[in-house]
Each structure stands twice: as C-alpha cells, then as structure tokens.
Structure 1
Amino acid sequence: MRDIRAELAEILDEAEWDWLAPHARRDLVILVALGLDLVEVGTAIATDDTLQIQRWIDEALIQKPSPAQLSIWNQNQSKRFQALIVQPYVLVQETA
C-alpha cells in the first residue's frame, strides 16, 4: 500500500501567484488556513475523508479564495505560497 502522506510531503513546494493564477481562474485553488498542516489537508482530500474536510470547511479553515484576496494577489504576482497539488485541486497556504 502506498503512503499518500509521504508522497504529498515530497511534492509540497513554494509557488508564486503568477504560477497559481491560471488554476484560480479555473476555480481549482483551495486556500488552507495557516494553522493547518498542508500535507494533512492534502491527505484528507486524497483519501476522501469527508468528515474532516467538512469540519474544516465549516470552521472556514479551508475555502476558495475570496474575490478580494484574488484581486490583491493578482496585483502582486510574485507573492509566494506553499502549494500542494491534489488533483484536480491546488492547495495553497500563504507564507508567513
């Protein structure tokens, strides 16, 4: 059995907004709150842990970026994020 968490940890990387913007235009970017482990969220999505995912959504810990956030990021194309691809989504977390 493959270790999804380890696989996702290996592909976690930084990305600039200009690399992520095309995914946002296709409504595939999910913003993850700073307090969450991006790999943990990716693992929950990859393993279809709907209870945990719904809990995070209900607590507004994972969500689609707001139009205001997108506007700010589009004005700063070099803004950096931690990013993790979990098909079809791109999970992003603002860097501190």
Structure 2
Amino acid sequence: MTAPEPSATDSGHSPLYLKLLAETAKIGWTELERFFARGMLLRVARDLDLVTVAAAIAEDDADQVARWLSSGLVERMMSETAADWAARDPDLWAVVVSPWVCVQERG
C-alpha cells in the first residue's frame, strides 16, 4: 500500500515534498532490519510529518534536522526500539532519502 497520490490541487508543498510523498510507503519491520543493521535507519516521532522530515534531510536543512535530533524527535534507530518493533510488527511507513531510510510508526 502506498501513500495517497498528490493531486493537482495540492498547494503549499514543494515539488520535492510531493515527490517524497509519492515515494512513501507502508513497510514491514523485516524489510527494514537490514537498514537498521547498517545504521541507516532514522526513527521519526509520530508528532512529526514523515515527509517534512525527509524533505529537510534531502534539502540539507542542517539547523532544522539538528533541532529534531537534539529534541529526540528524530534519532538513529535504537536497538530497544528495533527489538520492540520486531516483537510487535507495528504499522510502519518509510521513505528513502539516501543514505537514510526515515521510518515512522503509525496507528
């Protein structure tokens, strides 16, 4: 299942945001484990818009990303969270912003 397609009436979002939105998809933990093992997985808090975070990373908005990192709203996936997700298999959505995979639990 993929994210809803942006419509021609979407406004207020950059072309990059709309591109990333179209590339955002539901994914299972087992598909993400290899990215976790390589240290390439970023967990995004439920309070944030996953695509906004991905766009900030893609645009190299270092100040905004640093604020999210320092507040814990975005973090490298911790082993405790990985173990929890492996046990529960929650609804996860992800988007790739090379070399990172941004992932968020929903539901």
**TM-score using structure 2 length:** 0.82
How many residues are paired up? 94
Which secondary structure state, in structure 2, belongs to the residue aligned with residue 90 of structure 1? strand
Distance 1:34 1:20 in 2: 18
Structure 2 counterparts to residues 1-96 of structure 1, below 5 A = 3-76=15-88, 78-96=89-107
Q: Which structure has the bigger radius of gyration?
A: 2
Distance 1:74 1:39 in 2: 23
RMSD between superposed Cα atoms in Å: 1.4
Unpaired stretches in structure 1, ≥5 consecutive residues: none
Deviations, residues 10-69 of structure 1 (Å, cap 9, x unaligned): 011100000011110000000000010011000000000000000101111000122211
Distance 2:67 2:37 in 1: 26
2:59 partner letter: T
Please report how far the alpha carbon of residue 73 of structure 1 lies from its aligned counterpart in structure 2 after TM superposition.
2.3
Please report how far the alpha carbon of residue 74 of structure 1 lies from its aligned counterpart in structure 2 after TM superposition.
2.8
